[in-house]
Amino acid sequence: MKADLHVHTLLSPCGDIDMTPRDIILKARERGIGLVAITDHNSTRQAPLVQELGRAAGVTVLAGAEVTTREEVHCVVLLPGEGERREFQRFLDERLPDVPNDPERFGYQVVIDERDDVIHEEPRLLISALDSGIEEVEAFAHRLGGLFIPAHVDKPRDSILSQLGFVPPELVCDALELSRHADLPALLSAHPFLGRYPLLRSSDAHYLAEVGAAYTELPLGRDPSFPDIRAAIRAASP
């Protein structure tokens, strides 16, 4: 199964207005992507509708978020169910700083329904860093039975390597994510210790044309369970 585990919707301020739940699912089907993770910046609120539409279209959708930690490290968190998604959303709401969004500068942050009507607008800037360190985010994600994956580790900003310079040995990472432009041999030559971790490649899509532009093939059947997905991710290679 082709899996793209880092996709933004129009809820993310940097997400294009065309990144609607319906169009994301249509593009995933067009590209042959069977597993998608919705990972808006510091929010999970648009994911349930994408999951609902995905079930009807035969696309498995995971709810999650791209979390910005206090250290400005971007990390993908994926949740096993709706109860855990709601609990993680409370975690995010409690730790997102009270910095107002400026839509003209950063973009709109809206949640839409199945008719594409706006049902919520997030007033706080979602790309702010949480008042939580990376260890706290990792521990809480795993307490909920979720997955913790440092995002686009090869990027020169907002990655665990750019911000910390290494992966703390006590940090429990289910995998590390590569950007779609990553040069894996060069990355492993510069940072050999990365070879100890499962590695994923995802699109980090902010525009429809980017959905499925990078993916990881996972040994999964149709309609996989979260434990099956977890096991496949923990054995992944790009």
Could you give the percent of the chain with pLDDT greater than 70? 100
Per-residue confidence of the chain (238 residues) as pLDDT tens digits? Answer: 999 999 999 999 999 999 999 999 999 999 999 999 999 999 999 999 999 999 999 999 999 999 999 999 999 999 999 999 999 999 999 999 999 999 999 999 999 999 999 999 999 999 999 999 999 999 999 999 999 999 999 999 999 999 999 999 999 999 999 999 999 999 999 999 999 999 999 999 999 999 999 999 999 999 999 999 999 999 988 7
Give the tens place of pLDDT for each residue, 201-212.
Answer: 999 999 999 999
CATH number, residue 90:
3.20.20.140
171 found inside a domain: yes
Q: Which domain holds residue 75?
A: 2-233
155 found inside a domain: yes
Residue 175: CB atoms within 10 A of its CB come to: 24
211 found inside a domain: yes
184 found inside a domain: yes
Residue 61 token pair: 């959708």
Give the tens place of pLDDT for each residue, 20-37.
Answer: 999 999 999 999 999 999
**Cα(232)–Cα(209) distance, rounded to whole angstroms?**
26
119 found inside a domain: yes
Return the SS3 of 178: strand
152 found inside a domain: yes
128 found inside a domain: yes
Give the CA distances from residue 166 to residues 69, 73, 186, in Å, rounded to whole numbers and listed in that order. 15, 12, 16
Residue 24: CB atoms within 10 A of its CB come to: 30
Count up the domains in the chain and report the number: 1
Those residues with Cβ within 8 angstroms of residue 54's Cβ, 6 or more apart along the chain or in another chain:
25, 28, 36, 60, 61
Could you give the percent of the chain with pLDDT greater than 90? 98
* Residue 73, pLDDT score: 98
**Long-range contacts of range 55-58, CB-CB < 8 Å, 24 or more positions apart?**
57/25, 57/26, 57/29, 58/29, 58/34, 58/222
* Residue 237, pLDDT score: 81
238 found inside a domain: no
